[in-house]
Amino acid sequence: MSVGLFTTTQLTQDLAKKSFAGMITRLMPNGQAPLFGLTSMLQSDTAVQTEHGFFTKTMLFPQFQVSASGQTASDTTFTVVSTAQLLPGQIHRIDSTGENVIINAVISNTQVSVTRGTGTVAAASIGASVHAYQVGNAFEEASLRPNSLIINPVRITNYTQIFRNTWAISDTIRATQMIAGDTNIAESRQDCAAFHAADIEKALFFGQKSQGTRNGQAFRTLDGLLNIIGNLAYYPSYVSSTNVTTAGSTTNFTQLEAAIDPCFNQTTDPKVANERVLFVGGAAKRVLTAIGRLNGIYQMVDGQTNWGLQFSTFKTSRGTFRVIEHPLFNSNTSWQKMAVAVDLSSFTVAYLGDRKTQNKEFNQDGNEANDNGIDAVGGTLTTELTAVVRNPPANAVIFGLTAGAAG
């Protein structure tokens, strides 16, 4: 017992009501799975097998390359590297001289017969290894129908990957009142959903295709964007390099354009042929801003997508990029310097049958037969899906963006 004014110095801390806000501040990235989130707003595919794919056809433009010996102005038989895709009636423009020639006959795999100077540009000598590109075809009256050109479809596949995340708490914790946050069940469910979305998001970017066994059971992983963009096998045969660039110690506007503009070379949707989403880490976004400021070429303009995602916009000579800082990229110093251009018109996910994020909980219905003998409650989120990238060359990756420069 004490005499005098009762102040906080006499208050036993065990009796004092704790001063906590009635919520838990979640230190997690805001909008941590923007790519996966965007796919939920777009039309998804349905896979009927664990290997899901599609066929692509790439429009080809016939051309030929003269041999290393070149051709004289009077030659009407050309020796070329290959006569693939060449047909009688095609007109080709000699790149070095502007002369048009018409193909009369394909003699062999390396020789064609032509008529020279088909037009206003006279025949002239053609240097070694010069290219000629088709500029149309022409036929005489009452001509026989020409042979057809065939574009063979290419099969591209990916594997479905099973994602599982679980929350579980003892029944004692369920019944316990906490100082802050929602109910223990609600908090645990929310944590589980965040982990589930983040795991899928990271796989969509960084997954590598594989199949085999694990713990004696079938096991598969999907190919993510980075692996697809970096694999030349996913590109048309005439493309000689992937759209993957590693930046130097500094990057100027010319270098930036050279790295990302190839993603505009082909499209599957003419309505958005010149638009891409550019996911960046915080360091990469600072580099983009510095490049614009140092060169006075573009201005980063803030905006918001129809789905509520914040973005900045910048334009190059060939297209527009919606720049979204990806929260998960900021989780380590390497990803912070990364930029990934994505063609959303040709990207989606495919869920295997009905396995679109199923939630199965245990010990939630009060039925003792379902409690598995465990004095606990919980649940599991399961999703089985794969990434579908229908136009890999319409995407691009830059690693190691460190500093902007003029030029």
- Domain match, 132 and 216 both: no
The per-residue pLDDT for 63 is: 94
- Domain match, 402 and 315 both: yes
Could you tell me how many helices (H) and strands (E) the chain has, helices first? 6, 22
103, 137, 171 — which closes off a domain?
A: 137
Domain span at residue 237 reads 24-60+153-407
- Domain match, 54 and 68 both: no
Mean pLDDT, residues 272-301: 83
Q: Which of 165-169, 321-325, 351-355 has the lowest mean pLDDT?
A: 165-169
Say if residue 147's pLDDT is above 80: yes
Is residue 334 in some structural domain?
A: yes
- Domain match, 381 and 350 both: yes
Number of separate domains in the chain: 2
Q: Please give the Cα distance from 83 to 60 (Å, whole number).
A: 14
- Domain match, 56 and 74 both: no
- Domain match, 133 and 159 both: no
C-alpha distances (whole Å) from 78 to each of 84, 91, 100, 117, 146 are 14, 14, 14, 14, 21
- Domain match, 388 and 300 both: yes
Q: Please give the Cα distance from 135 to 121 (Å, whole number).
A: 14
Is residue 89 in some structural domain?
A: yes
Q: Please give the Cα distance from 406 to 135 (Å, whole number).
A: 39
- Domain match, 269 and 232 both: yes
- Domain match, 122 and 235 both: no
Q: Which of 14-28, 359-373, 391-405 has the lowest mean pLDDT?
A: 14-28
Higher-confidence position of 241 and 370: 241
Q: pLDDT-based confidence at 17, cuts 50/70/90?
A: very low
Is residue 144 in some structural domain?
A: no
Q: Please give the Cα distance from 248 to 369 (Å, whole number).
A: 63
Angle formed by the axes of helices 184-206 and 34-41, to 10°? 90
108, 137, 166 — which closes off a domain?
A: 137
Is residue 16 in some structural domain?
A: no
CATH, residue 130: 2.40.30
The three-class DSSP label of residue 313 is strand
Is residue 11 in some structural domain?
A: no
